[in-house]
Amino acid sequence: MVTIGFSSVSKSDEGAQVRVFLPTYRRPALLPRALKSLLAQTFVAWKCEVHNDDPMDPFPAELVKSLGDSRIELHHHERNIGASASFNLFYRPTPEPFYGLLEDDNWWEPEFLDTMVAEMRSHPQVVMAWCNQKIWEELPDGSWRNTGLFVNAAEGLSTPRLAVFGNFRQMLGSLHGNGAMLMRSRPGETYETPADWPFVAIEPLRERMIQHPLLFVPKPLAVYCKTLQTARSENRAEWAVVQTILAATFLKHCGYSDLRLAAFFAEARNMRPPSTTAIILAALMETKCRRLLRYSRPLDWLLLFRGLVRRPHVFWQVLQSRRHHPDWWNSLDRHSAARFEEQRLNSAKDSSPIKSNEAPAESDAAAVLDRRAR
């Protein structure tokens, strides 16, 4: 067992090609399932770090010991550091060529690592790949049900494809999911988020830090589990602030035509619930986004004012966010600018660039489940 505080202790394991990070916090019923799926992988050249974030919980250590697999190593945090700080330990260079994140409430299909490693090797320019996920949900009695739904909309295409930055979903969210991705380890490349950045939006921020294009594998090789309890905050003000910052920094640097900006506004209007309030607030907070307001409609403003009347403190926190959270704004502004500059350079080099709207579509059902979790 390795005891750590705030730094990950990674030992090179000869022959290992993937380092798997498995964070856990008081999940005695679910952790064994996640580890079972790892042990069932057809790709066996992996090394796993189980990170126990509850210093008082002996179960993870007992479980790891009982498995008797030298590839699995327990990392016991000296004190509880929380989900965001724990995840920051994982997005650092590793001795292995690749690394992934298996959350204790999710699991992988047996061919996950085999497929993802093969695709990453076939696309050496890609830093991150992710696959589609099946959606399971926890029932009140503790049992689990396969919803038959997927995080990304079901499609006939099975061939992996690249996704450049700039998709509508990346304005307010992300394409990838933590538990469905594989990262390429490169010396000096870390993707640590600000310590106080809300965990509810950890994937959108980190995705903006990562070089594009990404690689999407349509096959559902991972399982996303909708648990009754979640580490994600239900703080509405916090969520409104991060949505506004995400939208403002995206729209500030995108350089899109009026036609495409109007289409973005229309797409936000068609979401359930609509996301037009985030765009309007972004335009009010960032002067370079003001022209977006010309595409707003009276009903969009009515929705905003209704929210203002119901929760004035939320809007106050959004308006104060530049002063209270300059690191959040600066980080997203810097990374958003880098991603769009990268996109423009890649498009100039490629005579037939992959369009950003070719990124996989989020299924309506997945969007509903995701909002419930938030």
Domain for residue 112, yes or no? yes
Residues 25 and 164 in one domain: yes
Is 80 among the domain residues? yes
Q: Kindly state whether residues 35 and 165 are assigned to the same domain.
A: yes
Is 361 within a domain? yes
For 40, 41, 56, 114, 206, the CA distances from 17, given in Å and listed in that order, are 16, 13, 32, 11, 23
Question: Would residue 329 count as lying in a domain?
Answer: yes
Nearest 10 degrees: CA dihedral of 139, 144, 145, 147?
90
Secondary structure class of 108 (helix, strand, coil): strand
How many Å apart are CA 188 and CA 287, to the nearest integer?
35
Q: Which residue among 207, 226, 245 closes a domain?
A: 226
Residues 217 and 129: beta-carbon distance below 8 Å: yes
CB 131 within 8 A of CB 150: no
Are residues 137 and 250 located together in one domain of the fold?
no
Q: 15: domain CATH number? A: 3.90.550.10
DSSP, residue by residue, 47-66: EEEEEE--TT--HHHHHHHH
Residue 195 sits in the same domain as residue 247: no
For residue 231, is it within any domain?
no
Range of the domain at 297: 236-373
d(CA 269, CA 252): 20
Do 70 and 214 belong together in one domain? yes
Per-residue pLDDT at 351: 43
Write down which residue in 172, 192, 226 finishes a domain: 226
Query: For residue 372, how many other CB atoms are within 10 A of its CB?
Result: 10
Which pTM does this prediction carry?
0.88
The pLDDT tens digits of the residues spanning 282-326 come to 999 999 999 999 999 999 999 999 999 999 999 999 999 999 999
Residue 233's pLDDT is 58
Q: Is residue 194 part of a domain?
A: yes
In a domain? residue 256: yes
- 108 and 215 belong to one structural domain: yes
Answer whether residue 152 is part of any domain: yes
Phi, psi of 373, rounded to the nearest 5 degrees: -65, -30
pLDDT at 337: 98
pLDDT score, position 359: 59
Q: Cβ contacts of residue 212 below 8 Å, gap of 6+?
A: 163, 164, 165, 339, 342, 343, 346
Number of domains present in the structure of the chain: 2
Q: Tokens 């986004």 map to which residue?
A: 289
SS3 145: strand
C-alpha 90/C-alpha 284 separation (Å) is: 36
Last residue of a domain, one of 226, 249, 284: 226
Q: Are 30 and 104 part of one and the same domain?
A: yes
CA distance 308 to 305: 5
**Closest by alpha carbon to 130, among 347, 359, 337, 344?**
359
Low-confidence stretches of the chain (pLDDT < 50) are 4-12, 351-357, 364-374
The residue count of the chain comes to: 374
Q: Are residues 88 and 193 in the same domain?
A: yes
Do 190 and 246 lie in one domain? The reply is: no
What pLDDT is stored for residue 346 in this prediction? Answer: 83
**Whether 113 and 19 share a structural domain:** yes
Please indicate, yes or no, whether residues 220 and 260 belong to a single structural domain of this protein: no
On whether both 196 and 163 belong to a single domain, the answer is yes
